[in-house]
Structure 1
Amino acid sequence: MRVILLTHGGADLVIERLAELRGVEVVAVFIETVITPKRGLIEKARRSIKYDGVSGTIRKLFGRSDAAADTRTTNDLTRQAANRAGIPIVEVDNFHSDSCLEKMSAAAADLGVVYGTNIIKESVFSIPKFGSINLHQGLAPYYRGGPPVFWELFNDEKEVGLTVHFVASAVDTGEIV
């Protein structure tokens, strides 16, 4: 089975596990390198407080001075894992761009694996012959979108987990595998 992986980075362990599977050929790792739009300081602060709380925002301000370095590091780990496994890396600015869609189509994949991306449209996840599956870091259908683990812990859930499901048009609603 020919597989493509779509990620923003941090997928080194996913790559290693996929490369170990018999009958699976990972034909390309697509890394979307431009993740967030440019936002003003007030919008960044508002979003940070919404997702991290006031204390988390303060810790972010004083705890790490270069958030872009985190993305570079996770992308580096992803690249290294792909290189070790001999898997081609395709870096794109946007999964939805015409050039990316052409490259994905040219890969002639049977299955897409989505790990750690923003929302992708049907024009992307439907390219592989059998569609795409998402490795969702939360228990769907109870926790959709992100950041699910935060909400699972915040709600004092007894279990947290990972859900593997087919990608559908609505966020994290596809059939669970």
Structure 2
Amino acid sequence: MTPMTLLTRVRGDITRQHVDAVVNAANSSLLGGGGVDGAIHRVGGPEILAECRALRAGRLPGGLPTGQAVATTAGRLPARWVIHTVGPVYSRAEDRSHLLASCYRESLRVAAELGAETVAFPAVSAGVYGWPVADAARVAVRTVAAAGGDGPFAELRFVLFDDRAFAAFDAELQALGPQPPGENR
């Protein structure tokens, strides 16, 4: 990360974040779903779905592959863009952490290409995809801390929906050491 990049965490609703880009924990169809994906599509409105359908009709006819990212408008969200990424389903039999890390790296790459300075991330794969929240936090925080310097970022924010996820991400961020002053509630 650049010396001025804040790595922060908040407990809240990702659809209410005033940032340049919000990351959507999407499914490969890009056509909406449950959890974060459903909330972003509901609050953002039909403009997001229209751009996702255009992506599916054009360069992503088979959907978005796991670990990749693509951007659309943010519609009615208080952000400029939504960066959709497909997290892996957790497996005890196979280590898929490289795919989870790729979600964060690819989202940062897309954000940098867009010129986004502030990005809000959910806990990708830690919901219905079953990734244990403490391990999801470890992968997310370490990946974002390492890859965040590859772009023009002022703030990279984790937005956690519940106390358990907030505590896991907070512990990982505390393990990184002191952060510059910022919104770390």
The two structures share one fold, judged by TM-score above 0.5: no
Bigger relative CO (Cα 8 Å, ≥ 6 apart):
2
- Which protein is bigger by CA-based radius of gyration? 1
